[in-house]
Structure 1
Amino acid sequence: MIPSERLKGIEAFVCTADAGSFTAAAERLNLSASAVGKSVARLEARLNSRLFERSTRRLALTDAGRAFYGTCVRVLAELQDAEAVLAAQRREPSGRLRVDLPATFGRLKALPLLLRFARQHPRLRPHISFTDRFVDLAEEGIDVAVRIGGPDRWAPGLGHRYLGSERMVFCASPDYLARRGEPREASDLLQHDAVAYGRADGEPPAWRMAQDGGPVRLLPVEGAIVLDSAEAQVEAVAAGCGIAQLATWLAADALREGRLVEVLPRLAAEGLPLYLAWPLSRQLLPKVDAVLEMLGGSLRID
C-alpha cells in the first residue's frame, strides 16, 4: 500500500516545479507556502536527493529534479487516465491527449481533423507535437501517433492500423521543362537537375522507380539541391530548380494550380505506408478510442 503522504509529496513537487515557487504552488493547491515547502522537503529527504536549487528569486530544478519531474508527470497523468476509465458513466473524451504527427503531413492533413475534433469535445486538452523521427510512445507519454513509414516489427505493447500508402510521382515546373525539355525515359532523368529530399545525418537521397510487375527499385540521387523540408522541396521545384519525386498528397495543390506538372507517369511508384500507432494500455480510454476512430475513418493518404 502506498502511503498517502508519498502521493501528496509528488503533487506538491510537480506543482512547485510548474509554478516556480512554494508560494505560487500553495495558491494552486489551496495550502500554505510552509506546508508545500515541508512536503517537498520530506520528499527530498526520503529520496536522499535535492530536487530544487533554492535562491531568493526563484526555484530551479536540479538535474535529479528534472528527471524525477518527468516520471512524476507521467505517473499523475496515468492516475488521471485510470480514473477516467473507471468512471464508466463519463464517456465524453476529456483530459490531456498527446498526439504526435509527422511534420509536413501532420500539419497539412492530420491537424485540421484534430482541430475540428477538439472543437467537438471541449473537455479535451490536445497536446500535439510534430516530428519525423520515430518516438518511443510509452517513454514520451504519447497516446496516439500518426506515422509515415513504420518499423519492420512493431513492439508488443503497441497497436497499429494501416491507412494506405503514398503514391510518388515525378514533377517539374512548366518553366523548367520549357528550358530543359521533358524527360521521356528513366535514363533521361540523369541529364536533369534533381531537387531531392534528404537530411545531413540520414541516408543518401533516392528515388523510388516502378518496374513492370516487379518490386520498386531505389535509384540514388545526386541532387542539385537537397532539402530537409518537403514543403520547401515543392517550392524549389515550382521555382524551376529541377525535377523532384513528390508524394501526391504533397504536390496535389501545385499540380491542380498548374505550378507543377507530372512527368514520366509510368514510373510513379508506391511510397511509404501510413499508420496510426498507440500504446495498447491506453486504447480503452474514451479520449484515445474516440480519436483513433476519427482518424481511422477520416485520415487518408492519396
Structure 2
Amino acid sequence: MFSSERLKGIDVFVCVAQFGSFTAAAEKMNLTASAISKGIARLEKRLGVQLFHRTTRRLSLTDAGVAFLRTCKGVLADLEEAELSLQSENREPRGCVRLDLPGAFGRTRVLPILLQFAKDHPLLTPHISFSDGFIDPLQEGADIVLRIGGANTWPESVGHRLLGREWHIFCASPDYLARHGTPQSEHDLEQHHCIAYGWVDGSIHPWSFAGEQGATHRSQVNPPLVVGNGEGLRMAALAGCGVAQLPRWLVEQQLKDGTLVEVLAQLACDGMEIHLTWSKSREALPKVRVLVDALVVGLRVLGEGLCD
C-alpha cells in the first residue's frame, strides 16, 4: 500500500541536487541549511542508500542518487501535470510523454499517427525511441510501449491492449517470377529460392502456412539467403533474390505499386500479436490516456496488414 512517507523529502532532495549545495537549496526553499541537511539524512536512512558524496568543497550525487533523481523528477512532473490538468477546463494533454516502438512497424505505421497527434496537441512533447527487444515500461521509464510479440502474461503494474495480429504473406518480385515461375503450392517452394529470417547464432525462423480449417503449421526452409531484419528481407525480395514471407503491413506499398507480387495467397496466415502496453501508475494522466486511445483507434483505421 502506498504511504505518504514516501513523498517526504523528495522536493528537498531534488532542490539540493539541482543547486548542488545545502545552503543554496535552503535559500530557495526558505529553510535553514540545517533543516535541509537533516531532511536529506532522514531520506537516506529511509532508503538505505547514500544519495550524495559530501566533501568540504563540493556536494555530488552518487550513482544511486542519479537514478533516484531521475525517478523523482518524473514523479514531481506527473504530479504537477495532474494538477494542471484538473485546473484546465478542457484537460488538454500536456508535457513529455515517452514512447518506445518497434523499428519498422513503429516508423511506417505508428509514427504518422504520433506526428499528427503532436500537431493536434501542441502542449504535448512526445519523446519517441525505437527498439525491438522486450522492455518493462516501469523499469525503462516509458509511458507507452508497443511491441510485436511479447509476454504470455503481463505484470499487474502494466496496462495492456491486444491490437491484433500480423498477416503474413508470401511475395516475390515480378523479375524473379518471370525467371523462375510462380509457385502454386507449398511443395513448389522446394524448387525456389526462399529468403528467410535468421539470427546471429545461425538459427533460422521457420515459415508458417495456413492449413485446412484455419489450422497453421510451420515448416523449416533451406534458404540460400538469410536476413535478420524485416526491412532487409523486403529489400532482398525487391532485388529479385527469391520468395519471402513478410507481414503484409511491411510490403503494402510495394504490392500496390507492383514492385512485389503476392504468391500462394491460399497459404497466407496470421503471425505475431501486436501489443500496446503502458504504466498503470500513469494511465490516469491525460497525456497517456488520450494517446493510448489515439493509437488504438489510429492503428484500427490503418489496419490493413493486420487481422483481429
Task: Check whether TM > 0.5.
Answer: yes
Q: Alpha-carbon deviations, 1:242-300, whole Å to 9, x = none?
A: 21101111111111122111111111111122232223332221111211221121113
Distance 1:4 1:283 in 2: 20
Distance 1:234 1:285 in 2: 39
Residue matched to 1:122: 122
Alignment of 1:1-302 (within 5 A): 6-12=9-15, 15=18, 22=20, 43=40, 47=44, 49=50, 51=52, 62-84=62-84, 86-87=86-87, 89=89, 91-200=91-200, 204-300=204-300, 301-302=303-304
Q: What is the number of residues matched between the two proteins?
A: 289
Superposition deviation, residue 233 in structure 1: 1.4
Residue 6 and residue 60 in structure 1: after superposition, are their counterparts in 2 closer, same or farther (change >3 A)? closer
Distance 1:103 1:202 in 2: 22
Identity rate, percent: 42
Give the residue type in structure 2 aligned to 1:7: I
Q: Which runs of 5+ in 2 are unaligned?
A: none
Tell me, what secondary structure is at the counterpart of 1:188? helix
RMSD: 3.5
Q: Alpha-carbon deviations, 1:192-221, whole Å to 9, x = none?
A: 222222332696312111001142112223
Distance 2:226 2:146 in 1: 25
Residue 108 and residue 216 in structure 1: after superposition, are their counterparts in 2 closer, same or farther (change >3 A)? same
Residue 279 and residue 50 in structure 1: after superposition, are their counterparts in 2 closer, same or farther (change >3 A)? closer
Give the residue type in structure 2 aligned to 1:104: A
Residue 158 and residue 62 in structure 1: after superposition, are their counterparts in 2 closer, same or farther (change >3 A)? closer
Superposition deviation, residue 179 in structure 1: 2.4
Give the residue type in structure 2 aligned to 1:49: Q
Question: Does the 8 Å CA contact 1:95/1:125 hold for their aligned counterparts?
Answer: yes
Distance 1:219 1:9 in 2: 61
Q: Alpha-carbon deviations, 1:160-196, whole Å to 9, x = none?
A: 2232322111011122222222222202212322222
Question: Does the 8 Å CA contact 2:96/2:125 hold for their aligned counterparts?
Answer: yes
Distance 1:41 1:222 in 2: 69
Question: Does the 8 Å CA contact 1:85/1:284 hold for their aligned counterparts?
Answer: no
Give the residue type in structure 1 aligned to 2:235: E
Q: Alpha-carbon deviations, 1:40-92, whole Å to 9, x = none?
A: 998489636364699x9x99865334433343334334433443454463500
Distance 1:254 1:217 in 2: 27
Distance 2:197 2:150 in 1: 18
Question: Does the 8 Å CA contact 1:162/1:276 hold for their aligned counterparts?
Answer: yes
Distance 1:288 1:155 in 2: 18
Distance 2:163 2:285 in 1: 22
Residue 202 and residue 103 in structure 1: after superposition, are their counterparts in 2 closer, same or farther (change >3 A)? farther
Give the residue type in structure 1 aligned to 2:140: E
